[in-house]
Amino acid sequence: MPRAVISGAFDTAVGNLPGSTCMGLHLDAAAGALTDAGLETSDIDGVLCAYSMTEPHPMLASWFCEQSGISPNFCTALQSGGATACIMLMQAAALIESGQCRHVLLVTGDNRLSGMSRDGAVAALAGFGHPDFEVPFGISIPAAYAMITRAYMAAYGTTAEQLAAIAVEHRRHAARHPKAQMRESISIEDVLASRYIAEPLHLLDCCLISDGAAAVVVSRQDPGIRATRDVAILGSGQGHTHEHLIAMPRMTEFGCAKSAHTAFTRAGVTAADIDVAEIYDSFTITLLVELESMGFFKKGQAGFAAVEGQLGLEGSLPCNTHGGLLSYAHSGAAGGMFHIVEAVHQLRHEADMRQVRNARLAFIHGDGGVLSAHCSHVLEGPR
Amino acid sequence: MTRPMPRREGVAAPFWDAAERKELIYQLCTRCGTVQTYPRHRCGKCLSGDLQWRTSEGRGRIMTFTVVHRSPSPAFRTMVPYTLGLIEMEEGFRLMIPILTDSRDRVRVGGIVRVTFAVHEGMSLPEARPA
């Protein structure tokens, strides 16, 4: 079976990019990823895109191909909320391994900050709620995660201070990344003093809204040749349990347990083997429950680990070394793709000030909806 | 901007019609016995179309809750802060509805609530109060 590797990765500038457009950002990211991979548009025979909130389009991938002069053998757009980027990567690997494509280009991006008002972005995201049994009663994405937070606190004793420590560590990571949207240091007190969005989540427990785009090229590894910059996809998995919070089977167990277990099993490694993790962090609670569900920490322990600095660059599990959605950037489906780009940079040892020493195995994870859709990968750097 | 309201037509129409009568109803699958978390076209477990409406006693338990400060859309701006709860009813279905109380101390995970109805924008909607 052909083996799939990540041969190129690139993300654009992020943050507030006045005048940027969804498609312009897509093209910038694609051009960067192709350059990084040393490929031309004519080499690409598979294209996967995601979705846009500023320029919704029923055939985003076809529109992208029209604009980039690519005429692929396989082309479609995928939608699984925050899990989309990781699911695109899993789909691309399947296209390579089944012999249908040689080089698959994955492109995500949106001008979600400059292209829509903050109210517009918040209102659009409320569309994740059930139109009859959630939205009329005032649900929002932060409110949904706040409810998970409250249930999780009641079950495992997680505290607001522990969650704040996660936000603080992400900001510390972002300060080492020259492109990060938020680099000014914050303290636990700052997080707790920031206004409530939905109790017990404060403003600084919540991810950013950003412009930006990211693209990745997944290629067939030539037999016997491992290019010096190629990152291998060792194992992948998914887990899906519900869409709406009202239908979530349990408030403290999530599909990420299954997706991570599948990815670890297929890769033949365990959580303890991972050198660096880039895990979806739409809210501080998102990362905490994922870390505890996926086996990196026992239930109730990730908060203590965050306070001890275990998620920092010198910790036992350096996590979201670019600053994550909390401090690097979050622009729709590209938010999850930033995690993948960062993992590639770490595994190639191109992460400069934020490089995790001797990083060889990375774990990446995306979560869509309200911990509804999950996809995990274990990646291995060039030997 | 008007508040988004539930659709009166479709699979949940009997639920909202019952709400007009201050009656809380839920769906039961007569094939596998599953109580639907919210009304659907078919059973969410076995896909049977043999669903029956039953009447709830109106008592439930707070699975979790939040106090919303940042309104999800301008329509809710005059309502914040409000307490929104996910309620598991004794019969096994769920509601995501406001919890109304004068005392915040009475709103806690595991707390028992009673569901009543109030009219908003011309529609009778369920809401919870600590029992």
pLDDT tens readout for residues A301-338: 999 999 999 999 999 999 999 999 999 999 999 999 99
Nearest Cα residue in chain B from A138: B72
Of B7, B63, B67, the CB nearest to A132: B7
Provide the 10 A C-beta neighbour count for residue B100. 16
Query: Which pLDDT score is estimated for A352?
Result: 97
Question: Which pLDDT tens digit goes with each residue over A8-52?
Answer: 999 999 999 999 999 999 999 999 999 999 999 999 999 999 999
Burial of B55 (0-12, 13-18, 19+ CB in 10 A): exposed
Contacts of A146 in chain B (CB under 8 A): 66, 68
Query: Which pLDDT score is estimated for A276?
Result: 98
Residues of chain A whose pLDDT is less than 50? none
Of B37, B67, B73, the CB nearest to A247: B37
Burial of B121 (0-12, 13-18, 19+ CB in 10 A): exposed
Contact A150 B109 (CB under 8 A): yes
Query: Which pLDDT score is estimated for A225?
Result: 66
How do the pLDDT tens digits run along chain B, 131 residues long? 688 999 988 999 999 999 999 999 999 999 999 999 999 999 999 999 999 999 999 999 999 999 999 999 889 999 999 999 999 999 999 999 999 998 888 999 999 999 999 999 999 999 999 99
Residue from A130, A132, A156, A289 to probe the interface with B (highest B Cβ count within 10 Å): A132
- Residues A269, B108: Cα–Cα separation, whole Å: 41
Query: Which pLDDT score is estimated for A279?
Result: 98
Contact A198 B69 (CB under 8 A): yes
Contacts of B95 in chain A (CB under 8 A): 133, 246
B93: its two tokens: 């279905």
- A126 in Cβ contact with A99 (< 8 Å): no
